[in-house]
Structure 1
Amino acid sequence: MSWLTRVRNAIASVTQKETAENLWHKCPSCGQMIFTKEYEENLSVCPNCDHHGRIGAKKRFAQIFDGGEYTLLTAPRVPEDPLRFRDTKKYTDRIKAARGATGEPDALLNARGTIVGHPVVAGVQDFAFMGGSMGVGVGEAFVAGIRAAIDAHLPYVIFTAAGGARMQEGILSLMQMPRSTAAIAELKEAGLPYIVVLTDPTTGGVTASYAMLGDIQIAEPGALIGFAGQRVIEQTIREKLPEGFQRAEYLLDHGMLDMVVPRRELRETLGRVIGFLMPEQVAA
């Protein structure tokens, strides 16, 4: 055995779990490298610049529900690829890829649990699933969440995150806007609160429908919220838009939001709001 082989064999190998890719997270806002464990313990918020990272439905449920305990509601079954759409890929292939990457059936999941002792039904959109786009599956899940809240006489809390309507479903996607609006009207007719938490980003047809119809409008810091993109608006009106336009803090200053709440304070804030809106519920 040569000396080179002996030295090489003496060096401890690095397992896949110990690679830099798994140990570190690079903040997309400030570029700071953060230990992944530290980042996750801080609720996926950068400790350096307070950038609120995008998170999936199950992480969100674990953060907002008491003790991280909740019951997922069954996702409604809907026709897949109703228009037999194909661009550079088949739509069915895109759905399979999104399901494989996220482990979720579609971009919106509902769950039931308690927030500071108050029972609620909550829905969460996952931007990682095809940009959180609103298709028939998302529309059906939203309506199902609302009706589950009505049946149990509970408030409905929705966490929005979307790039807009799902283009692969054409007019069927756009039809989810009036459907969701009608469902919210049913919830209000039942005298139950509808609370919206806008996260980064919330844009397009979602903003133009259920994201802006809450009894209480809350947003996470720095969240991008709007209908059309800033560049499109500037090209249309031929004017330079203000700094921070379409960010949560700007919208709060101009009356479109009720509050901007950091993620670490969100659960307690939701608990207080639900207590104000449903005083008949006695927190445990």
Structure 2
Amino acid sequence: MPELPEVETTKRGLEPLIVNQTVERAYLHRANLRWDMPKHLVTTLSNQSVDKIQRRGKYLLIKFEVGTLIIHLGMSGSIKVVGNGTPLEKHDHFELVFTNGKRLRLNDPRRFGAVLFSKDGTHSLLDNLGVEPLSELFDNEHLYTRSRKKQQNIKSFIMDSKIVVGVGNIYACESLHKAGIGPERKANSVSKKHYKILTQCIKEILLRSIAAGGTTLQDFSAVDGKPGYFSQTLSVYGRENEKCMQCGSKITRIIQNQRSTFYCKSCQK
């Protein structure tokens, strides 16, 4: 599933290609993804210029004067910008054609993504999102303060989008390993000192992944079609029974909340 680094990589790739460009026409190549795509986009976005692109959690926000196009990549989605004459690929479900001859296409094989629209830039899907992990609001106090009454395991806690957005399964595993915190510990049992360390680890892991273009484990690719390379530097995720790069012990895999968790029993307490 594309997580924060993959969506941020997509956003950065799109900015120089579509900001200040004018939409000639929008195409809905199917009626729905996770939800129905607004049919009015065909007329609403016609002759509209892209003002800017933002990211909120795992949502891409493409801003126009008339409102905001909200895109979620779902489980397997990706966005590419191609030239006129480029044949549609299977699972290209949404398309913006620009007057400069470029086309933005959302490809989503599993159709868990979303294309939505908001006139004022607000939406119920965005209302309850937590702080951005790369912002100043995600400081050394945030996780500690929010965790004091939390009995859930620490991994689920930092993956809660109401607490902090964008720390998906891969990045939670990697951050906890780097911070030396066991994934089964209760959130309220972790000290302020270790939450400070974890906060910095989350920021570092996410920034490293963004710099590498995200993590490609199955089918994510960036706007230019290139895969992300952060998977080549993963310390624990997907490495069950392989040696820990820090201590040489075997990496363990367990199931938490129906998701695989990878960690080192020796390094993480």
TM interval, short-chain normalised:
under 0.3
Structure with a larger share of its residues in strand: 2
Structure 2 length as normaliser, TM-score?
A: 0.27
Structure with a larger share of its residues in helix: 1
Structure 1 length as normaliser, TM-score?
A: 0.26
Structure number with greater CO (CA < 8 Å, separation at least 6) is 2
